[in-house]
Amino acid sequence: MAERLERYTVAAVQAAPVFLDLEATLDRCCALIEEAAAHDARLIVFPEAFVPAYPLWAWHVPAGQSRPLRELYVELLDNAVSVPGPAVARLTAAARAAQATVVVGVNERNAEASGTTLYNSLLYFGPDGRLLGRHRKLVPTSGERLVHAQGDGSTLEVFDTPAGRLSGLICWENYMPLARYALYAAGVEVWVAPTWDRGEPWLSTLRHIAKEGRVYVVGCCSAVRLDDIPDAYPFKSALGGSPWVNPGDSAIVDPDGKLVAGPLHESQQILYGDVDLRQVRGPRWQLDVAGHYGRPDVFELRVDGRSRPMASVLRDGSDVGATTSSAPDTAESGGAAAAGATGRDGAAAPGPRAQGDAAPR
């Protein structure tokens, strides 16, 4: 792994994708990575489901209107990301050229099984271009369940990177206290919170997580104008008369819950802030929720970090697992993991995955 950085610049990319256009959105994503790197950003974070777009129609097209929902789903599926695949290869090359740790929200196709279900996922790339791993959103929120499936505990993990011990949750996953605690117990220092949410109380949520976990928090949202949605989509008429479908409100927060930068409102640009990882350690003298402020004698959290393949194959009387893996192909499945947390069978859960560990092929 490259040398750990104690101080560096982080970039929250508040931009709009090229709506439901995979290749054009990847072009924009790679250009924005290059721009952020030119401003010396060593950690670059993109919004929730940025590639090729957050499925905002889920909040405006009623569930009973199956024909338009099917049409939109097919278009999103055709422009979704497979892991591994050509889109991932482009992003790894961009991270390597930038020599930065990059986190990108994508709509991920379940390439390990049917190839026709989608996950709301985060992809983590190291500055050497390696795909460190991914996180699939555990619980799609409300209307999102018309589009995205549920992830499992195998992708709930912390990555050891030059930018610190890095992890996070997507949008309203951040309201799941047990998921937060699992990552605190795994030693997270820098927390990414890609989202479609904005305003209050979301900004208060970012500040609370920073204060609770004594972590830096990078909240990153797409800033989407009405003009960013092509007129060809009938649901556009339901988005209202405001020029902004989503004003953004990306923000960077320090471990005391104070704003470092932002919120960035009604603007499509990159928000920069400074991180000093030494500031993570000092505040934990007073409050370390997964250390001296925890009470494992009173409370017990067990995290099931096993993947849940759709099918397993028996050969010669032995279960050899799924026909293809439901997580990036690594020497160890990684997963859920909290130092001291245990799986359902009582075994210790695996800890954070280092950048130098076996990477997806």
Closest CA to 296 of 336, 342, 344: 342
Residue with tokens 């011990």: 165
- Buried-state track 260-270, b at ≥16 Cβ within 10 A, e below 16: bbbbbeebeeb
| List 112, 144, 157, 171, catalytic entry | 171
89, 219, 308, 329, 354 from 332: Cα distances, Å: 21, 30, 15, 8, 12
| List 48, 108, 112, 157, catalytic entry | 48
List beta partners, residue 8.
275
Neighbouring C-alpha atoms within 13 Å toward the C-beta of 22: 18
Q: Amino acid identity of 263? A: P
Cα 244 from Cα 228, distance rounded (Å):
9
| List 29, 108, 112, 137, catalytic entry | 137
Torsions phi, psi of 171, nearest 5? 50, -120
Q: Quick check: is 211 catalytic?
A: no
Residue with tokens 């920073």: 210
Q: Quick check: is 171 catalytic?
A: yes
Q: Amino acid identity of 156? A: L
Q: Quick check: is 23 catalytic?
A: no
- The DSSP element (H or E) to which 26 belongs, if any, is helix 22-38
Ramachandran class of 11: left when φ > 0, alpha when ψ lies in -120 to 50, beta otherwise = beta
Q: Among all residues, which ones are annotated catalytic?
A: 48, 137, 171
